[in-house]
């Protein structure tokens, strides 16, 4: 597994070793010892799986307490996956990074606790799976407005995205509850 740093400190692209032949392919998407060697969390408590059609935008989601780290990958299709630094003490607060994740490139994005997460489906349909470091807590879930100009995400949109009511009503970054002390994450 290769760890590829991104411009956002602590966010990383993970590229697994893929072994392929005429039958198909094999890859190791998670290995506790490998993650520990790479300095990544090796404890995940929940796996999530979603399916969405082209143009669906999910996010920007995060959870205050307990904060979740996420390891995201596309099992089918292609997405534009985004992480936004929401740690108030960070020099990169409010900055974002996005990467194309697809069934074809088999890359994963590590999004640590303290970051918001969202993705846009680029293919006709995509299935996305992610591992979470903490259990889902509906009471502490929050949503930042996907198109907040203060963040300025350059979504590769072809028209208007399809949003849930919750995501359409997300808070601007200036009004959002964020993480006051990244040392506690």
pLDDT in tens, 51-81: 999 999 999 999 999 999 999 999 999 999 9
Long-range Cβ pairs for the range 43-48 (8 Å, 24+): 43/133, 44/71, 44/131, 44/132, 44/133, 45/132, 45/133, 45/134, 45/135, 46/131, 46/132, 46/134, 46/135, 46/136, 47/129, 47/130, 47/131, 47/132, 48/129, 48/130, 48/131, 48/132, 48/136
CATH code assigned at 137: 2.60.120.10
Q: For residue 183, is pLDDT > 60? A: no
Q: What angle do CA 81, 120, 2 make, to 5 degrees?
A: 20
Residue 63 CA to residue 66 CA, distance in Å, equals 7
Q: Please provide the size of the chain in residues.
A: 185
Residue 151 and residue 96 in contact, taking contact as beta carbons nearer than 8 Å: yes
> Can you say how many angstroms the Cα of residue 86 is from the centroid of all Cα atoms in its chain?
13
Mean pLDDT of 171-185: 82
Residues identified as active-site: 61, 130
Q: For residue 21, is pLDDT > 80? A: yes
* pTM for the predicted model, two decimal places: 0.94
pLDDT in tens, 161-174: 999 999 999 999 99
Q: What angle do CA 125, 128, 94 make, to 5 degrees?
A: 110
* Chain mean pLDDT for the chain: 95
- The domain tally of the chain equals 1
Domain that includes residue 52, residue range = 2-184
Look up residue 146 and give its DSSP letter: T
The pLDDT score that the predictor gives to residue 179 is: 86
Q: For residue 124, is pLDDT > 60? A: yes
pLDDT in tens, 146-157: 999 999 999 999
């Amino acid at each position: 597994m290769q760890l590829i740093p991104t411009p956002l400190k602590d966010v990383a692209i993970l590229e697994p070793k893929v072994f392929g032949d005429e039958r198909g392919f094999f890859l190791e998407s998670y290995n506790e010892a490998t993650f520990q060697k790479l300095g990544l969390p090796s404890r995940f408590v929940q796996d999530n799986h979603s399916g969405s059609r082209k143009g669906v935008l999910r996010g920007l989601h995060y959870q205050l307490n307990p904060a979740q780290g996420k390891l995201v990958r596309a099992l089918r299709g292609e997405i534009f996956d985004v992480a936004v630094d929401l740690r108030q003490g960070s020099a990169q607060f409010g900055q974002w990074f996005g990467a194309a994740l697809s069934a074809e490139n088999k890359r994963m994005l590590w999004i640590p606790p303290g970051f918001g997460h969202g993705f846009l489906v680029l293919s006709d349909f995509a299935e996305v799976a992610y591992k979470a470091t903490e259990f889902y807590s509906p009471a502490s879930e929050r949503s930042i407005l996907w198109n907040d100009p203060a963040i300025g995400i350059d979504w590769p949109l072809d028209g208007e995205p399809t949003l849930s009511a919750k995501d359409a009503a997300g808070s601007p970054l200036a009004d959002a509850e964020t993480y006051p002390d990244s040392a506690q994450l």
